[in-house]
Copies of this chain bind each other. A is one copy, B any other.
């Protein structure tokens, strides 16, 4: 077998093990009984340590070296794949087995504690576990930063948005920081005189699922390679071959659940439409979480919260689901899904206030990683910043620094990806409309074929060469 083929073979197996890990993670959120947490934690730890050892194995290193001496034989996909493989391997190599285990173990543990501590609004309970996670993350960041020749926080950002630097993000975010507060004020002021009919009817969960599935179908979700389930927080997981998204439903506000489904379907469409030949190779995987969020936010913010979509949705609800009230008119739906209101909770935030939530977390996590902020001081710093950015202050840590899963699960450096994703999404829609002036009409008709084609060629199956090593 030639060396590159053998290399792909070994990477394929590592990818398959990661697929299994993803499925088990999905199962934890959707199915696992609470009593199985400890045994599952051990099983996950074993699988991740097998993946880690295989990435660090001398066999793989040799294959990489041999293949690197034969790059003249590779096409540009294979070349880009080799570069991504090298990066993955170097990143694994700089983390010791012991640190890797401590990271997986402490973050799995902390995530479980967080679920309980958040419910009970008990930050003291969470603190020691979060401290341990932070210590591991800082050690990992230090190791990676040496290899990537960047700051510790940049090394973390790199995991979620390859090659992105904190300094670049700051430059962009400073514009948002300047302009958004005034924008919020103006919008809130204008909204005071806008008449909106509130949703009063309760919509049963089963009915909401039917509506959601109908829209998923129209968006192009392939149910033969994926599922829709329920969980406390919506997410999209699984594998590119078996893409599983989840949602939650509020009977008194079906729009919130529907926007959740559309958001997660955006993620899922990216996974389902990655380049077929490379779905189990690094070059065929999603290009980081900023791009991933751009895909979900493209559908949620650019498509589904548009005037055109309100027309489509209003008609669909009336014709296919028998919704009759005036509150379901396209005009009223549009007002409902574009309403702006500062809120303590990030996942409840609208498009305009959302970046302020991200800015807050971005600034605090950089300080946590650099040691300028301690876990002890986190709650008060959070509250003060919230007051400063959105003019509201949480009464509880539950609605403050304990609301998100990211830090307890060890994902420091992730948050900026949301707002970068939102920015990319808006740039994508701008470009899509420049290429096709009929897009709004297509959305009104529930026809998303051209939008999917646009995303296919410009994002999903596109790869750019960049020399990583």
Contact = CB atoms under 8 A, between A and B. Distances in A.
Interface of A: 13, 16-17, 19-20, 23-24, 27, 31-36, 38-40, 42-43, 46-47, 50, 222-227, 239, 241-242
Contacts of A31: 227
Contacts of A242: 32-33, 35-36, 39-40
Contacts of A50: 50
A225 B36 contact: yes
Contact of A16 (B13, B33, B43, B241): B43
Contact of A33 (B20, B43, B226): B226
8 contacts: A19-B39, A27-B27, A33-B224, A33-B242, A35-B222, A35-B224, A35-B225, A36-B225
Contacts of A16: 39, 42-43, 46
A268 to B, nearest CB: 12
A224 B47 CA distance: 24
The 7 closest A-B pairs by CB, nearest first: A36-B242, A39-B241, A35-B224, A35-B225, A16-B43, A36-B241, A16-B46
Contacts of A40: 241-242
A75 to B, nearest CB: 24
Contacts of A222: 35
A46 B17 contact: yes
A39 B43 CA distance: 21
A71 to B, nearest CB: 28
Contact of A47 (B20, B27, B223): B20
A34 B224 CA distance: 6
A37 to B, nearest CB: 9
A43 B19 CA distance: 8
Nearest to A18: B43
Contacts of A225: 33, 35-36
Contacts of A19: 39, 43
A35 B241 contact: yes
A222 B36 CA distance: 11
Nearest to A238: B36
A39 B279 CA distance: 10
B224 A39 contact: no
A50 to B, nearest CB: 7
User: Which of A19, A40, A43 has the most B CB atoms < 10 Å from its CB?
Assistant: A43
Contacts of A38: 241
Given A27-B27, A35-B225, A35-B242, 8 more contacts: A20-B20, A33-B223, A33-B224, A34-B224, A35-B224, A36-B225, A36-B241, A39-B239
A402 to B, nearest CB: 25
A371 B224 CA distance: 40
A24 B35 contact: no
A285 to B, nearest CB: 14
A35 B31 CA distance: 21
A287 B60 CA distance: 41
Contacts of A47: 20
A43 B20 contact: yes
Contacts of A241: 35-36, 38-40
A46 B226 contact: no
A230 to B, nearest CB: 13
A6 B33 CA distance: 30
A311 to B, nearest CB: 32
A47 B21 CA distance: 12
Contacts of A46: 13, 16-17
A17 B17 CA distance: 11
A228 to B, nearest CB: 11
A32 B238 CA distance: 11
A50 B34 CA distance: 28
